[in-house]
Amino acid sequence: MPASMGPTKEPSTYEQQLGNLGEVLETLRNKGDTNLLIETTLAYVKQNFAADYELCWIGLYDHAEHRLFGKGGYTPDGKHSEWLKQRHNLASGDIMEQVVVQRHSLAIADLRQELRAGEWRKVADRYSIQAVTFFPLIQRDRCIGVMLLGSKRWGTFPSNNEKACIRMVLGTLAATLSNVELEWQRQQYKRPDKPLMEMLNRLRNLPQLGQRLDAAVEETHRYFGATRTSIYWFEPKQRYFWRRVSNQTKTSGFMDMTTPASGLTAQELSSFYQALVSDQVVSIGEARSSLKADSTTRLMQLMKARSLLAAPILYQSELLGFMAIEGAEPRIWQEEEKQFLRAAAQTIALTAPAEEIEGIIHQTQVDSS
């Protein structure tokens, strides 16, 4: 008969936290949805820290707009407050911007008395929150969000063990969120058909060519996120390209980017012109160019760009112009990007008014004669 076992020892609070930590880390690594990741993190924090920290909030950082998007949290009254999902613009010198820029956690003994807290002082007053700790979500030296943990008691901050657990959870959350973002970007490149279909649907509902060109530039610019997206139209009589539509984006540190050449002559850039007539996509990027060195140098000087992707706008073998993605920095162009721009340029040709296309073709034939 086997010997009887002694009484089972109940795990300590710290051991329970370690067990919970292991479970949440495993869950976060296997999730692929942003909302589920945030919910899992908040559930862990609430289960292990809500007794001492009655307020929690998580926001994700939007680099382009320099603001935080609230993704959820919990409050002392247990109600779902609208401000948990609000956007919070970052102002120069305030606490939240300091956390985002410096990427270090920050503890405030009484948030209600902190002049740099901005709108967060109102939140602290509403819920009688005093001590708060801000934790940045860091992935490879990049801040992708912030978590706020607040207590009603003055100067109450997480212990070293608690901070270690929180940072492990937030580090795993940040890594997984970064992977989700990268996968989304890869899917966008793998499947350019969806944004192209959206562009086509939008263009065919616009009555005028100018409106269609504006819409095409806008949709293409959204896909690439480059410094400038332009459409150059070809004038066959004078044999030059003139910039008909352009999406200008100011980029600090890039001199003269707002004043590129308004026209390019076919004679001066003969190899570039011949490549377009031959229905070739011209790509100039980091240490790579589909043109000869002298042609590349001259073209980039005129465009005032350091990277370029250009696709011809052809209709019945006649060159109407080209669409260009112009970058302020060197860039390696992906094959999916080249395919997208080629399709976008041809969409423009197919949706242009027939009478304008026929006029251009007729003028070209006359000039050739």
Confidence of residue 341 (pLDDT cuts 50, 70, 90): very high
Cα–Cα–Cα angle for 313, 314, 316, rounded to 5 degrees: 160
**Residue 361: pLDDT above 70?**
no
Which tops the pLDDT comparison, 132 or 354?
A: 132
**Residue 151: pLDDT above 90?**
yes
The percent of residues in the chain predicted with pLDDT above 90, rounded, is 30
Cα–Cα–Cα angle for 117, 142, 332, rounded to 5 degrees: 140
Residue 343: per-residue pLDDT: 92
Condensed to tens digits (0 to 9), the pLDDT of residues 152-178 reads 999 889 989 889 889 999 998 998 888
- Sequence-distant (≥ 6) Cβ neighbours of residue 160 within 8 angstroms: none
* Structural domains of the chain, with CATH: 13-188 (3.30.450.40), 192-368 (3.30.450.40)
CB atoms within 10 A of CB 272: 26
Residue 211: per-residue pLDDT: 87
**Residue 139: pLDDT above 60?**
yes
Condensed to tens digits (0 to 9), the pLDDT of residues 36-76 reads 888 989 998 998 888 899 999 999 998 878 889 999 999 99
**Residue 296: pLDDT above 70?**
yes
**Residue 12: pLDDT above 70?**
no
Which tops the pLDDT comparison, 258 or 125?
A: 125
- Sequence-distant (≥ 6) Cβ neighbours of residue 295 within 8 angstroms: 269, 270, 271, 272
Tell me the three state secondary structure of residue 196. Answer: helix
Confidence of residue 256 (pLDDT cuts 50, 70, 90): very low
Confidence of residue 106 (pLDDT cuts 50, 70, 90): very high
Residue 27: per-residue pLDDT: 76
- CB burial string 302-341: b at 16+ within 10 A, e below: bbbbbbbbbbbbbbeebbbbbbbbbbbeebebeeebbbbb
CB atoms within 10 A of CB 173: 26
Residue 180: per-residue pLDDT: 84
From residue 92, alpha-carbon distances to 98, 100, 120, 251 in Å are 8, 11, 15, 20
Q: What is the pTM of this model?
A: 0.51
E-assigned strands of the chain?
55-62, 67-74, 87-89, 106-108, 131-139, 142-151, 228-235, 240-248, 263-265, 282-285, 288-289, 307-315, 318-327
Which tops the pLDDT comparison, 313 or 207?
A: 313
Distance of CA 313 to the CA centre of its chain: 28
Tell me the three state secondary structure of residue 91. Answer: coil
Cα–Cα–Cα angle for 340, 341, 344, rounded to 5 degrees: 85
3-state SS record for 199-264: HHHHHCCCCCHHHHHHHHHHHHHHHHCCCEEEEEEEECCCCEEEEEEEEECCCCCCCCCCCCCCEE
Confidence of residue 196 (pLDDT cuts 50, 70, 90): confident
Nearest to 348 by CA among 235, 262, 231, 241: 231
Q: In what order do the strands lie in the sheet with 87-89?
A: 87-89, 67-74, 55-62, 142-151, 131-139, 106-108
Mean pLDDT score across all residues of the chain = 82
Residue 249: per-residue pLDDT: 44
Structure tokens at 167: 């940072």
Q: Average pLDDT in the 325-341 region?
A: 86
Mean pLDDT lowest among 2-11, 195-204, 241-250, 329-338: 2-11
- Give the highest mean pLDDT range of 5-14, 306-315, 358-367: 306-315
3-state SS record for 113-130: HCHHHCCHHHHHHHHCCC
**Residue 93: pLDDT above 70?**
yes
Q: Average pLDDT in the 81-89 region?
A: 85
Q: How many residues does the chain have?
A: 369
- Sequence-distant (≥ 6) Cβ neighbours of residue 268 within 8 angstroms: 298
